[in-house]
Amino acid sequence: MELLHSGKVRDIYGDGDDVILVASDRVSVYDVVLPTPIPDKGRILTQLSLWWFHQLADVVPNHTIPGGHVPAEWTGRAMRCRRLRMVAVECIARGYLAGLGLKEYRATGAISGVELPPGLLEGSRLPEPVFTPTTKEAVGVHDEFITFDEVATQEGKEIAEELRHLTLEVYRRGAAIAAERGIIIADTKLEFGWDDEGMLVLGDEVLTPDSSRFWPADQWEPGRAQHAFDKQFVRDWAESTGWDKTPPAPEVPDHIVEATRARYVEVYERITGEKWR
């Protein structure tokens, strides 16, 4: 196998006509990989993605190859997938106001050119989910908000409309399933690509604690930061250290590592209904 790409979290290997995506235990915040891994993180991301791909199969096809063999040393943290020609857009759906979306709203009253009602607070539920795409930059470079019209200029109007439709449908389905389990999915980032037949396919990961914000519904309260079952917990710790968000990043203390793992495990168990092994 040939190492095709080593990203912030995933390593991609070519194996004949397929690729194998291996999710490491690395964690990145502010586009910088932290020096301390989170045990089991890669396995949780992989298994939760596979669970969601199954739940979403009637919404959009995905890149996984069911029953595809992966090397034994990567069991549980790797997926055998079809090769895709990836769309150079980060497709983001937001149902609640948080993170960079909140910052952009406070500055402009809009996100990615989508006007939002005045007076919304941190954690507010939006009137309806919105599509707020960003650029897809190289490691170490921050993604930037772009408008739907900019996506249409880059990819073509028909493709832009399909990306928006699929992104919002995946979010709505995922949010509805999670809500039944007491979890709010505040927002999520998706990636799409074209397969050999020219079909637009869901790739990478889907609805994980690395790509989404998960909040316990019974603790949700607009106007403050929410309890996070996701990477926001690590971001908040990193922000509190005074680190300037450039390499090298600080070591993560043991209690933050353990608490992060516990949150990832809890959201996996609550969403899937399966005990983490």
Q: How many residues does the chain have?
A: 277
Q: How high is the mean pLDDT of the chain?
A: 95
Report the alpha-carbon distance of residue 92 to residue 130 in Å, rounded. Answer: 8
Q: How confident is the model at residue 277 (pLDDT cuts 50, 70, 90)?
A: confident
Structure token pair of residue 12 = 């991609």
Residue 85: per-residue pLDDT: 95
Residues of the domain holding 16: 2-82
Kindly report the number of other CB atoms within 10 A of residue 46's CB atom: 23
pLDDT in tens, 122-146: 999 999 999 999 998 665 557 799 9
Same domain, 171 and 230: yes
Q: Model pTM? A: 0.95
Q: Confidence class of residue 202 from pLDDT cuts 50, 70 and 90?
A: very high
Q: Give tens-digit pLDDT for 153-163.
A: 999 999 999 99
Q: Tokens in use for 155?
A: 């990819």
Owner of token pair 């933050």: 256
Q: How far is CA 115 from CA 147, 165, 172, 221, in A?
A: 11, 18, 20, 23
Residues 158 and 40 in one domain: no
Is the domain of 48 the same as that of 180?
Answer: no
* 127 plus 198 within the same structural domain: yes
Token pair for residue 169?
């449908």
Residue 133: Cβ-neighbour burial (10 angstroms; 0-12, 13-18, 19+): buried
Residue 245: which residues within 8 A CB-CB, separation 6 or more? 29, 30, 32, 238
The pLDDT tens digits for 43-84 are 999 999 999 999 999 999 999 998 899 999 999 999 999 999
How many percent of the chain have pLDDT more than 70? 98
Distance from C-alpha of 158 to C-alpha of 164, rounded to nearest angstrom? 10
Q: Is residue 276 part of a domain?
A: no
From the list 10, 8, 1, 2, the residue with the least C-alpha distance to 205 is 10
Evaluated on CA atoms 224, 108, 185, 231, the torsion sign reads: negative
Specify if 49 maps to a domain. yes
CA–CA distance, 254 with 38 (Å, rounded to integer): 10
Residues 11 and 89 in one domain: no
Domain stop point among 198, 218, 235: 235
Q: How many domains are contained in the chain? A: 2
